[in-house]
Amino acid sequence: MAAPRASLRLVAPVWNGGTSGIRGLSRAVDPEGSPRKGRTLLRFLADRFYDVEAVREYLLQKQVLKVLQKNRSFTYIKERYGPYVAGAYFILKQGGAVKFQDKEWMRPNGRGLSGELWKLREVPVEAVDASGCAINYQGLDNLLALKELQSLSLQCCPHVDDWCLSRLHQLANSLRELSLAGCPRISERGLACLHHLQNLRRLDISDLPAVSNPGLTQILVEEMLPNCEVLGADWAQGLKLGPEEQTRDTASSPIPA
Amino acid sequence: MLRRALRLGLGPGLLGRGLGTHREGSTLGKAEGSGGYRGSGVFPVSSHVTFRTRGPGPRWEDSGSLGAGAWDGKVSEIKKKIQSILPGGAWSPLCDTSHLPPEHSDVVIVGGGVLGLSVAYWLKRLEKQQGAIRVLVVERDHTYSQASTVLSVGGIRQQFSLPENIQLSLFSVEFLRNINEYLAVVDDPPLDLQFNPSGYLFLASEEGATIMENNVKVQRQEGAKVCLMSPEQLQKKFPWINTEGVALASYGLENEGWFDPWCLLQGLRRKVQSMGVLFCHGEVTRFVSSSNHMETTSGEKVTLRRIHEVHVKVDRSQEYQPVECAIVVIAAGAWSGQIAELAGIGKGPPGTLQGTRLPVEPRKRYVYLWHCPQGPGLEAPLVADPSGAYFRREGLGNNYLGGYSPTEEEEPDPGNLEVDHDFFQEKVWPHLARRVPAFETLKVRRAWAGYYDYNTFDQNGVVGPHPLVVNMYFATGFSGHGLQQAPAVGRAVAEVMLEGRFQTIDLSPFLFSRFYLGEKAQEHCII
C-alpha cells in the first residue's frame, strides 16, 4: 500500500510560501500534501461562500471522527472478558490478525469473528499483526494492555506517528519484534524513544518516508539498541562516490570525443 | 441647523470621510484639507478613520451661509464622491488607511506571540455564536525577531511542583498531539511540529532528593508518567552520564520532549486569521481610561478603572489610531511590565493594591549550539543538571543545544540580545563537562539570546483579571515555561473572559491579587 490514506483528504496542493515570516512554512509542511486539480474549484467556492466552507469543514470533521470511532475503547468487553480478549477484538475489528499463545493466527473472516475468541480469557496474546490498520494514539490503549506481547507489526499504518512510539515503552518487558516499515508519519524523532525496548531483538524500520536521513538514522538506531538486529535502509544509501573512485570510473570508460 | 448637526457629530466615534490620521502633538484642525465636510448631513460609507478636530467651532461659521448656486455645486460634488466610493467607481482615498487598525474592537490583545495568539484562538473557539467577538491582535514586530516564542528551546515537560502547572502542561501536550484537529484549516497542509518525545531527565543532588520525590508524587497524582531512577539505574540506561553527585533522577517517559515553536506560532496565526481575528502591526502607546470611585461594603474607598481606548502607533511613523475596545489582554511577554505601567498599574502609594506593579521584567538567557562528535546518541533526553545547566540533542549530526540560568548577581543586561561567549566558557561548559565527560571536547557552532518574561515575585505566570482595572486581563510572566503552557493558558483566559471564572483548570493561584496579598505560588522546578 504505497499511498497512505491521508487523514485530511481535503488537503490543497503543496503550500508554496507566501507567509509573513522570515522562514515561511517550508518546514511545517507535512510530506502528505499532494496536488489535486479538482480541489481548485472547491477552494474557490469555499473562499467565497460560507455554506461551502461549512460543508467542507463538516466533511473534514467527519473523517476525523471516523478514525476516532474506530479507535474507541471496548470497556465492556474488557471488563467481561479481560484485556487480552478486548485487545484481540480491537485488532480483529480493524482488520488485523492476532496470535494467542500456543494457538494459530486468527484473522477476521468475512462472516464475523470466530466464536472461540470469547473462550480465550486467560490466554495471553503473543503476536499482533496490525498492518494497514487505522490505529492511532487512543487505539494503542488496547494494545498496551497486552503485557506479554512479543511481536508487533505496525506496517503501513497511516495514523501511527512519533507520539504513538513514545507509548511503546509500556511493552518493554516482553516485546521482541517490532516492525514499522512503511508508516508515513514516523520520523527519526519517534525512533529515538525506542531505546526503552531493551528486549527488542528485531526491528524493521525500512521505507519510512518521513525520516530525513535513512542511512544515518539506521546507524544511530543500531548504536542505541546494541542487542537488536535493525532492518532498514542500507547504510550506504545516500552516500556519493568519493573523488578517487570517480576519476577511476571516468578513466575506465572512455568518453567518445 | 447645519452647524448644530456638525457640532453634535463632532465627538468621539464619528464616522466620517476625509483625512484625519492623528499626528501626535499636532493641534492643527483638518478642516482645510478635508474637502468633503461641507455638505449636508450625508455621511458616506465608513472609513477606518475618525475625523476629529478639537475646538474648531468658529471655523464653521462661514460654511453656514451657502447661497443657492453654491448649493448646486455642492450637491454635484457629493454625488461624484458617492459614485466614486460605490463599487465600480474609482476609489481614490485622499489618504490610505489600510495600515491602521480598525476603530473599534471588542477585545484588544497586546502581543502577538504564542500566548496572545492562543488567547485569540480560544476566544474565537469558545464564543457562543460565530463572529460574535471581534478580536484585534497588536504585534509590534511581525518578524518576531525578539519574541521569546521563537527564540526558545521549545521544550515541554510535566515535571513541575505545582499541580496547576502540571495540568496546564498536560492539556498543552494533548493540544500539540492533536494539533491538526485543533488548528485545521481547510485546504492548508497539516502541521508538522517536529516533536521529539525524548523526555526530560532531572538530576538531583542529596539536598534536592526529597523535594524531587515529593514533586514526582504530585506529578503522578495529576497523571504525568514519570519514573524515578537511582544512580545505578541511571548509569545503566545512559552510560554517557557521570553520576557523581547525583542522588536521584526523575525521567519523563511520555508526553515530554521538545518541538518547533515557530511551527506552532505559524499554525496558530494561520488558524486564527481564518477564524476572523484581525492583526495589526503597531505598538501600544497609550491607554485611555475612566475611573469610578466606589466604596466597599466595609467603607473602604476603591477606585475602579475601565479602559476605553488603546492608542496603537504605527511602526516608524507618528501616526496612531485610537481603538475603542471592551477588553484588553496583556500578553506582551518580556515587555508586559512596561505595558502595564502605561495602563497605570502600579501608580499609587506602595503597599496598596493600586500601588502594586506587575512584576514582570525581561531577563536575557543565552542558548548555545555546539557540536560534539562523541556525544550522547539518539536516546538523549533533555538533561537538567542540579547546578541548573541543561542541554538536549538537536538533529542527527551530534549537535546539542543548551544553556544555564545565571544567578541573580550574574544576570546579564537585558538591553540587547548580544551573546556573551565567555559566559559559556566560564559558567556553562564546566557543568556540562562534569556531567557528560564526552563534552570536554566540543565546539560551539552558534549561539543566540532570548528573553524570559521573568516574574520576579515567584517565577510563575500571571493569569486572569486585574482587581482594579476591571477590563484588563493578563496572560504573561511565565518565566521560561510560557511556550509549553500557552494552549492551556489561552483557554483559561478565554474562559475567564467569557464565563467569568476558570472552568477546566483552576488557575486562581496565578491571579494578579497574589502580588498584593503576598501569597507566592512558588515553582521549584525551574530551568
Q: What is the pLDDT of residue A74?
A: 87
Dump the DSSP string for B280-312: EEEEEEEEEEEEEEEE-TTS-EEEEEEEEEEEE
Please answer yes or no on whether B266 and A25 come within 8 Å at the CB atom: yes
The mean pLDDT of A226-246, rounded to a whole number, is: 72
User: Does A48 touch chain B if contact means CB atoms closer than 8 Å?
Assistant: no
Interface residue ranges in chain B relative to chain A, Cβ cutoff 8 Å: 142-144, 177, 180-181, 184, 186-192, 194-199, 253-255, 257, 260, 262-263, 266-267, 270, 377-379, 393, 396
Q: What is the pLDDT of residue B20?
A: 39
The mean pLDDT of A188-213, rounded to a whole number, is: 91
pLDDT higher at B503 or B2: B503
The answer to whether residue A33 scores a pLDDT higher than 50 is no
Please answer yes or no on whether B143 and A21 come within 8 Å at the CB atom: yes
Residues of A with Cβ-Cβ distance to B262 under 8 angstroms: 21, 23, 27-28
Residues of A with Cβ-Cβ distance to B142 under 8 angstroms: 20-21
Question: What dotted CATH number matches B365-451?
Answer: 3.30.9.10
Mutate to test the interface with A, among B192, B399, B400 (most CBs of A within 10 A): B192
Q: In percent, how much of chain B has pLDDT > 90?
A: 70
The CATH 3.30.9.10 portion of chain B extends over 365-451
Q: What is the pLDDT of residue A32?
A: 42
Residue pair B323/B110 in contact by the 8 Å Cβ criterion: no
The mean pLDDT of B347-367, rounded to a whole number, is: 92
User: Does A141 touch chain B if contact means CB atoms closer than 8 Å?
Assistant: no
Residue pair B522/B147 in contact by the 8 Å Cβ criterion: no
Q: What is the pLDDT of residue B221?
A: 95
CB atoms inside a 10 Å sphere around CB B145: 10
Residues of B with Cβ-Cβ distance to A167 under 8 angstroms: 254
B113: left (phi over 0), alpha (psi -120 to 50) or beta: beta
Q: What is the pLDDT of residue B50?
A: 40
Please answer yes or no on whether A33 and B190 come within 8 Å at the CB atom: yes
The CATH 3.50.50.60 portion of chain B extends over 103-195+257-359+456-526
CATH 3.50.50.60 fits B103-195+257-359+456-526, yes or no: yes
The answer to whether residue A250 scores a pLDDT higher than 90 is no
User: Does A138 touch chain B if contact means CB atoms closer than 8 Å?
Assistant: no
The distance of B107 to chain A (nearest Cα, Å) reads 23
Tell me the pTM: 0.81
Q: What is the pLDDT of residue A13?
A: 38
The mean pLDDT of B371-389, rounded to a whole number, is: 93
The distance of A53 to chain B (nearest Cα, Å) reads 8
Per residue in A96-140, pLDDT (tens digit) is 999 998 888 888 876 656 777 888 888 899 999 999 999 999 999
**B212: Cα within 13 Å, side-chain hemisphere:** 24
Per residue in B184-210, pLDDT (tens digit) is 887 789 999 999 999 999 999 999 999
Per residue in B388-421, pLDDT (tens digit) is 999 999 999 999 999 998 888 889 998 999 999 9
Please answer yes or no on whether A192 and B255 come within 8 Å at the CB atom: no
Residue pair A92/A67 in contact by the 8 Å Cβ criterion: no
Residue B527 CA to residue B405 CA, distance in Å, equals 7
From residue B362, how far is each of B328, B330, B334, B411, B514 by CA, in Å?
21, 15, 4, 11, 20
The answer to whether residue A247 scores a pLDDT higher than 70 is no
Element (H, E) at B68: helix B68-85
The answer to whether residue B346 scores a pLDDT higher than 80 is yes
Least confident of A241-250, B101-110, B280-289: A241-250
Residues 158-187 of A with CB under 8 A from B: 162-163, 165-167, 169, 187
Q: How does residue B47 score in pLDDT terms, banded at 50, 70 and 90?
A: very low
Please give the domain boundaries of chain A with CATH numbers for all domains. 73-231 (3.80.10.10)
User: Does A53 touch chain B if contact means CB atoms closer than 8 Å?
Assistant: yes
Per residue in A45-72, pLDDT (tens digit) is 888 888 988 888 888 889 889 988 988 8
The mean pLDDT of B227-250, rounded to a whole number, is: 94
Least confident of A152-166, B2-16, B122-136, B194-208: B2-16
- Residue type (1 letter), B129: Q
What radius of gyration do chain B's Cα atoms show? 28
Q: What is the pLDDT of residue B91?
A: 58
Burial of B88 (0-12, 13-18, 19+ CB in 10 A): exposed
Identify which of B77, B117, B7, B103 has the alpha carbon closest to the alpha carbon of residue B482. B117
Cα nearest neighbour of A220 on chain B: B378
Q: What is the pLDDT of residue A241?
A: 63
Residue B415 CA to residue B175 CA, distance in Å, equals 34
User: Does A20 touch chain B if contact means CB atoms closer than 8 Å?
Assistant: yes
pLDDT higher at A234 or B488: B488
Q: In percent, how much of chain A has pLDDT > 70?
A: 74
Please answer yes or no on whether A30 and B191 come within 8 Å at the CB atom: yes
Q: What is the pLDDT of residue A112?
A: 59
Q: How does residue A172 score in pLDDT terms, banded at 50, 70 and 90?
A: very high
Residue pair A221/A165 in contact by the 8 Å Cβ criterion: no
Element (H, E) at B435: helix B429-435
Indicate the residue of B143, B190, B197 with minimum beta-carbon distance to A32: B190
Dump the DSSP string for B222-246: HT--EEEE-HHHHHHH-TTS--TT-
Dump the DSSP string for B331-375: --GGGHHHHHHHTTTT-S-TTSSTT----EEEEEEEEEEEE-TTS
The answer to whether residue A15 scores a pLDDT higher than 50 is no
Q: How does residue A239 score in pLDDT terms, banded at 50, 70 and 90?
A: low
